[in-house]
Structure 1
Amino acid sequence: MAIGKESPVPMILDTDTFNEIDDQFALVYALCSPEHWRVAGVTAAPFLNARSDSAGDGMRKSHDEILRILELMGCRGRIPACAGSTRFMEGKRRAVESHAAGFIAEAARRANARGEVLHICAIAALTNVASALLIDPEIRRMIRIIWLGGHRYDMGRNDEFNLRQDVAAAQTVFDSGCELWHLPCLGVVQALRIGREELDRELDGGDRASEYLRSIFHEFLDRRELKDKVLWDISTIASLTVPEAFRFRMLSAPLLHDDMRWELTSGRHRIRVAEHVDRDPVFTDLFRRLRRNAELCGGRHVQNF
């Protein structure tokens, strides 16, 4: 399938929503892009950092945050929000069963029965996605995974949050043979940086979702005494809404070692890897959609999907 030619496509957003603030922007962005994305569900991924006491606690907080965003967007109860894994994988072939993993497998089969490919925008550790592949290996040919994680292959470091949280899950996905679009963080997606003034100027819809995004953005910067922030996770949504902003190349899937080191290969299944993201078209599209949503809904919530 050609980039940007299928619209709208069925999609699941797999997200550690409470981990930081990027995921909230990505979820609202997806819901404001109904001509490109048909959101079939949102799955909560585990995470462990200063905002959670355990991987399971992080997943539960993410699930609560998903519900909060769906409420702000006026679609709670209409779009499924599924609880995910309460722990990370303990090995490449050891699935973690969860509502989210089962939901992903079922959604893939439903899409396949309609002649569609289920897109999974994964903006977290790949625990839920890898577990779905292990539980139901046949869905490998029914899905396209768009994953934000790790860093550019030629960089000396690769200790990135989404990757290091569950290396076994990332290894499982990269070894699975499924269609994979990889969006590396440092060296590629880090271009999506935005500061306070630009965000306040552009995020002016006055609706509840926009106000919430503005508030968590400012709170995040204030707490860390920062002037700007990379909105990493919106890259997965923009890969279809603004395909012209991305430059991809096809590569043999790299091997991912236990120490998070990439090893370039030849002869393995080919994946699509982003080499460059043009920030301005992405942010122009994001804020245009948020303003349109506010105008359509009189500052309340999105109406149509």
Structure 2
Amino acid sequence: MTTLKEAVERFIPLDHKLMKTRLGRPGTMPRVIIDTDTANEIDDQYAVAWALLSQDRLNLEGVTAAPYSFLHHRDGLYDAVAALQKGGGTDHDSKFVGPFAGWAQRLLADGRTADDIEFVTPDVGEARSYDEILRVFDACGVGSEGKVYHGSTQHLPSYDAPVDSDAAQFIIKQARNREDGPVYILAMGALPNIGSALLMAPDIIDNIVVVWTSGFPSYAPFCNEPSLNLVQDQLSSRLLFECGMPHVYLPGYHVGAQLTISKPEMAAFVKGRGAIGDYLWHLYTNNPLHVKYAISEPDTKTWVIWDIINVAWMLDAAYVPTHLTTSPHLSADLYWQNDPSRHLMREAYDVARDAVFEDFYRAIERG
């Protein structure tokens, strides 16, 4: 079986000057592909809508559906619920300290158990994401024909087995068009579409820039396991950091996590702004993750709209301040390992939350 090191040897390192050019600011009307697990929660829909309504500022060539699944949470939740039902799982029981204890407690208080939670497989997640992309196109009044592509129905099984899909082929085709400048892939989920495209066509790394949101900053001493985008397809996640491609890394914790929005803001600036405004309002007020995680009193809480950070970086450098650093290794236990001799990447360290949402509101108003 091919190792990561052996897979990476197939990629020709980019010239340092070209790498710095690719990691600079996008030019006028940059070419963009959005790779998104749109039905995972409600944030991707905001990002896709913002891009669709900003096509005077970027050239959105297509949207590819990415799979998602919470199956890796299932055993932990079942164990935590069972322990609580038996009277265990206290704060001092280290096995249940973490995300599952609170989730299990809320479920039981709501009269439910882990059996009431749907854990979809990646193929179901991909199909739902594809359908959700079409709904966002429709709500924005933008035609989707020839613009939306089915993606991988599984996460990358090995470096010997890239998953062929319409999405991966579309990425390869667009990347090999070198006459119109590089393609920026705004990646808002797990990466099997991108990982598979890279393995099938290593030559494309000179003409794509992947802008991905996930995980902790590369200098943070924390385990990246909480990042759904990173943890689902760990093979593709590692390939992204190892293969030498131009990469803009937008940490979710605690950069993208600043992009929270409240119900009063939704009511004031999104609701009633056309079909897309009403659809986003519907998503916000019928958030499936409120039900899934048994979140009480949602009206008093904000919700983080993580994935608009990708679009924000494309539109204005001031929205997402970044710096050049070197690409870290991702260890087997999901910690960053830094090496100053490695190839460059660009990384965000902050976000101008108010300016980002003000631009988003203007786009919704225009739409």
Relative to structure 2, which stretch is displaced further, 39-48 or 52-61?
Answer: 52-61
Distance 1:164 1:145 in 2: 18
Quote the offset at 1:117 in angstroms.
0.6
Aligned equivalent of 1:95, options 141, 157, 162: 162
Structure 1 vs Structure 2: percent identity of aligned residues? 32
Distance 1:48 1:233 in 2: 17
Q: 1:77 to 1:193 in 2, by over 3 A?
A: closer
Quote the offset at 1:63 in angstroms.
0.6
1:254 is aligned to 328
Distance 1:210 1:76 in 2: 17
Q: 1:120 to 1:5 in 2, by over 3 A?
A: closer
Is 1:230 paired with 2:297? no
Secondary structure of 1:41 counterpart: strand
1:171 is aligned to 238
Q: 1:203 to 1:79 in 2, by over 3 A?
A: farther
2:189 is aligned to 124
2:353 is aligned to 279
Does the 8 Å contact 1:47/1:59 carry over to 2? yes
Aligned equivalent of 1:113, options 179, 196, 199: 179
Q: Provide the aligned C-alpha RMSD in A.
A: 1.7
Segments of 5+ residues of structure 1 without an aligned counterpart are 294-305
How does the TM-score come out when normalised to structure 1?
Answer: 0.91
Does the 8 Å contact 1:250/1:273 carry over to 2? yes
Aligned equivalent of 1:139, options 197, 200, 204: 204
1:303 is aligned to none
Distance 2:145 2:200 in 1: 26
Quote the offset at 1:177 in angstroms.
1.0
Alignment size in residue pairs: 291
Does the 8 Å contact 1:6/1:36 carry over to 2? no
Relative to structure 2, which stretch is displaced further, 269-278 or 85-94?
Answer: 85-94
Runs (4+) off by over 4 Å: 1-5
Aligned equivalent of 2:126, options 59, 67, 76: 59
Does the 8 Å contact 1:12/1:41 carry over to 2? yes
Distance 2:144 2:312 in 1: 25
**What is the 5 A alignment of 1:177-196?**
177-196=244-263
Relative to structure 2, which stretch is displaced further, 213-222 or 65-74?
Answer: 213-222
Distance 1:99 1:52 in 2: 25
Q: 1:3 to 1:286 in 2, by over 3 A?
A: farther
Quote the offset at 1:75 in angstroms.
2.2
Aligned equivalent of 2:55, options 19, 22, 34: 34
Does the 8 Å contact 2:65/2:130 carry over to 1? yes
Segments of 5+ residues of structure 2 without an aligned counterpart are 1-20, 71-116
Quote the offset at 1:109 in angstroms.
1.3
Answer 1 or 2: which has greater strand percent.
1
Distance 2:120 2:26 in 1: 42
How does the TM-score come out when normalised to structure 2?
Answer: 0.76
Q: 1:57 to 1:5 in 2, by over 3 A?
A: closer
Q: 1:202 to 1:55 in 2, by over 3 A?
A: same
How far does the alpha carbon of each residue in 1:112-163 deviate from its partner, in whole angstroms, 9 at most, with x for none?
Answer: 133x110100000011011111111110001011001111231423111000
2:222 is aligned to 156
Quote the offset at 1:66 in angstroms.
0.8
Q: 1:5 to 1:168 in 2, by over 3 A?
A: closer
2:285 is aligned to 218
Q: Amino acid of the residue matched to residue 308 of structure 2? A: I
Does the 8 Å contact 1:7/1:35 carry over to 2? no
Relative to structure 2, which stretch is displaced further, 203-212 or 235-244?
Answer: 203-212
Does the 8 Å contact 1:8/1:37 carry over to 2? yes
Q: 1:157 to 1:178 in 2, by over 3 A?
A: same
Aligned equivalent of 2:365, options 261, 281, 291: 291
Distance 1:134 1:192 in 2: 33
